[in-house]
Chain A
Amino acid sequence: MNNPSEEIDQGRRGFLGAAAGVATMTLAPGVLLHTIASAQPRSERVTDAVRYGMLIDTTRCAEGCSACVSACNQENGLDLQRMPAGMDPEKWDRQEARWIRKVKLEDKLTGRITNLPMLCQHCEHPPCVDVCPTAASFKRADGIVMVDRHLCIGCRYCMMACPYKARSFIHAEVEEKLTLAPRGKGCVESCNLCVHRRDNGEDSTACADACAAQGHHAIIFGDLKNPESTLSKALAAMPSRQIRENLALNTGVRYSGV
C-alpha cells in the first residue's frame, strides 16, 4: 500500500525518463540497422553449398567486341584510373589495372582463329593463395578468389605465381573510387566475379550481362554445384576445358571451343 505521506520524487522520474530516451536514441539505430542487415544475404556466412563459376563459349565470342571489358571497367571502377600527368601512354598501358581482357588466338597448326575473354579463373587450388605471405589472397567458401585489401602488402608474389596473368598492381594513386572497389595504391587486385553482386543476392556478373545485352551470350555465369543451374546444364551439354589444365588447378572458369 502506498504511503500517501511519501511525496513522489518528480526529479528522479524526470531523470529516468530522460535516460530512457537517450538510451533509445542511442541503441535504436543500431538495432534497426541490424534488422535491415539481417534481411540481406550479405550478413549470412558464405557457404560452400555453392561454387560460382563460368562457361565461356568462344564460338559465340565476337571479334572486335569488348562489351565485357567495358562493363567490367565501369562496374568495378577501373575506368576511374587516371594516367599520371606527363607519363608515356604506352608505359601506362602496361601498368593500368585490368580485370578482364579480350584475347585473339590463332592455332599454329590449323590457323583457326579463336576470340575469348581472359580473367581470373577462380581455381579450386589457386597458386596466388598458396604463395601470399600474409593470406591477403584468399578463396571464399563459394569459390571466389579475391584479395583482402587490408592485408595486402603489395609484394606482388601472387602476380608472379598466377598462371593466367589475371592480376594487376595499382601503380598510381586513384583519386576517385567506388565504395565497392576501394582501390588503394600499392595493392594487388583481380576479378572477384562481381562479389558485391553475390553479396547483394544478384545472380549475374557485369561481363555476362553485357555479353548477353549484345546478343552474344558467350559468358554463362552460375553455380557449378547446382545441377539445375543454367551453367551446369550448359557444361553438361557441350565439351569444355580448363586453360592450362595440366596444372590441375580445377578452375571455376571453363572454356568451350578452344
Chain B
Amino acid sequence: MKRIVYREWRLAPRRYWALLASLAAVAGVGGLAFWYMEHQGHWVTGMNNEVVWGLPHIFAVFLIVAASGALNIASIGTVFGKSTYQSLGRFSALLAVALLIGGLMVLVLDLGRPDRLIVAMTSYNFRSIFAWNVILYSGFVAIVIAYLVTMVDRGFRGYYKAAGTLAFVWRLLLTTGTGSIFGFIVARQAYDTAVLAPMFIVMSFLYGLAIFMLVLIFAFAQDQRTLGPYIINRLKGLMSIFIAAVLLFILIYFLTKLYGAQNYDLVSFYLVSGGRYTLAFWFGWVILGLLAPFGILFHPVHGRDRRWIAGACGLVVLGGLASIYVIVIGGQAFPMPIFPGKTILESGFHDGVGGQIAAYAPSMPEFLLGLGGVAVALIITAVGVRALQFLPESLADKDVDPHAAVKA
C-alpha cells in the first residue's frame, strides 16, 4: 500500500460555484421558512398539541444520527487499525461535523423560542437527557475537530490514536443519548424501551455510511479521481452488515413490545392498521430502505455498477427518513393509554376518541427548514474539501489495498 496523498477538491471553478450557489439557495429558502415560522408562530406548521414534534425533528434527528455514523469510517481506521479506512478518515470526520451542525441547526430553529438558545446553554437540568445532549453534541464537534488536527498535523500525530478512540467512544454516547430521548419517555407506548438506544446506534452506522458513500462517489466522480473496486466492495460489505443489523433490531423491538399484551394494539398499529405509518414502515423503511438496497448490493450485475450502488445508498437515506418518521411521528400519533380498558367517547382535547390516531399533516415551511439543514451540512462539506486537503488523490486498488502488491 502506497502513502496516501491528499488534495483539495479541484472541481472547475464554474461548476464549484454553481454547486455552492444552489446549495446556498436551498439553505436560504430554509432560512426564510424559519423566519416565517418564527415570526408567525407554530400555527403555520402542521404540528399541534398532540403531535408536538414534526418534520423538522425528522430531519434533525436523521442528520444527527447520520453524523455519528459518518464518523465510523474514521473510527474503523483509527481504533481498529484498518489501514484502508485510514485514508478516508479526514473526509469521514469532516462529514460527521457537517451533518451534526446541519441537524443541530434545524433542531434549534424549530424551538418555540430560538432566541433563548443562550438559556439552553446556561441553565441546565442534569436529569434531562436533552441537557446531556447539548453537551454531547457540542463536545462531539470539539473532539472531532481535535481528532482531525491529529490526522492532518504531524506535530499532533502522537495523539492520533487517543483522539480517535475518544471520538469513537463519544459518538457511541451521543447516539445513545439521541436514542434515549425517546427511550426514556415512559408516557408513550412506542417509546419507553431501552432497546431504542442501541437501535439508534445501529441505524446511525447504516445512515451515516450511506451518506458517506453517496458524497464520496459524487466527489470522486466530479473530480475524475479513481475510486477502485476494492474500497467500494469493503464499504458495500459494511453496508450489508448494517442493513442486516437494523432488520434484527426492528425484529427485537417488535418482539419486546409484543411480549406484553398491553402493546398488541401498538404493534398492530405499526404493522397492519396504522394507515400512512404502516405504509411508511413497510414500504418506506423495510422494503425500499433496507431490502431493496440489500438486493442491489448483492445483485451479480447491478451490484458492480456505481450508479446502482449510489442508488442503493439513496434508498437507504430515504428509508432512513421514513424510519425516523415512523418512530417520531408514528410514536406520537398513536393514542396514549391514559385510560386502559376504557374507550374514550368524547374529549375536549382530542385524546384519541374511539382509538383515533392523532392528526399531523406536514407543512411546506417545515420541509424547507429541514432541507435547509441538509444544504448547510453539504455546504460545510463542499467548502471543507475545496479548501483543505481532505480527499485522497486516488483510491485506486493499488493505492489502498494492503495486498495489492502481493496480488500484482
Give A residues with C-beta under 8 Å from B. 66, 69, 84, 87, 91-98, 101-109, 113-114, 118, 127, 129-136, 151-157, 159-165, 167-173, 184-188, 243-244, 247, 258
Contacts and interface: CB of A to CB of B under 8 A. Distances in A.
A109 B341 CA distance: 8
Contact of A133 (B134, B337, B348): B134
Given A135-B125, A169-B42, A169-B49, A151 B185 contact: no
B344 A104 contact: yes
Contact of A134 (B123, B133, B184, B185): B123
Contacts of A105: 339, 342-345
B298 interface: no
Contact of A185 (B112, B128, B134, B345): B112
Nearest to B337: A244
5 contacts: A94-B48, A95-B43, A131-B185, A172-B42, A173-B41
Given A134-B123, A153-B112, A244-B338, A103 B351 contact: yes
Which 6 pairs, one residue from A and one from B, show the smallest C-beta to C-beta distance?
A154-B112, A186-B112, A101-B348, A163-B187, A94-B48, A133-B130
Interface string B99-141: 0000000000001111011011001110111110110000000
Contact of A172 (B41, B49, B52, B125): B41
Interface of B: 40-43, 47-50, 52-53, 111-114, 116-117, 119-120, 123-125, 127-131, 133-134, 181, 184-188, 332, 336-339, 341-351, 359
A172 B43 contact: yes
Contacts, number: 186
A46 to B, nearest CB: 19
Contacts of B120: 133-134, 153, 155
A155 B130 contact: yes
Given A92-B43, A162-B187, A173-B41, A157 B344 contact: no
A187 B111 CA distance: 9
B338 A118 contact: yes
A200 B283 CA distance: 58
Contacts of A170: 41, 112
A248 to B, nearest CB: 10
Contact of B186 (A152, A163, A169, A243): A163
A131 B129 contact: yes
B350 A94 contact: yes
Contacts of A93: 350
Nearest to A92: B43
A239 B32 CA distance: 56
A73 to B, nearest CB: 11
- The majority secondary structure among interface residues of chain B is loop
Contacts of A95: 42-43, 47-49
Nearest to A163: B187
A132 B119 CA distance: 12
Given A152-B113, A185-B41, A165 B124 contact: no
Given A133-B134, A155-B112, A168 B186 contact: no
Contacts of A185: 41, 112
Nearest to B262: A246
Contacts of A102: 346-348
A98 B347 CA distance: 12
Contacts of B346: 102-104
Central interface residue in A108, A113, A127, A169, by most chain B CB within 10 Å: A169
Contact of B339 (A130, A131, A151, A243): A243
Contact of B338 (A84, A98, A130, A243): A243
Contact of B119 (A118, A134, A156, A165): A134
A114 B341 CA distance: 12
A186 B264 CA distance: 36
Nearest to A135: B125
A94 B332 CA distance: 14
A207 B123 CA distance: 34
A133 B136 CA distance: 13
A162 B186 CA distance: 9
Contacts of B348: 66, 69, 98, 101-103
Contacts of A184: 113
A84 B133 CA distance: 35
A186 B41 contact: yes
A153 B134 CA distance: 13
Contacts of A172: 40-43
Contacts of A109: 341
A50 B350 CA distance: 34
Contacts of A94: 48-50, 350, 359
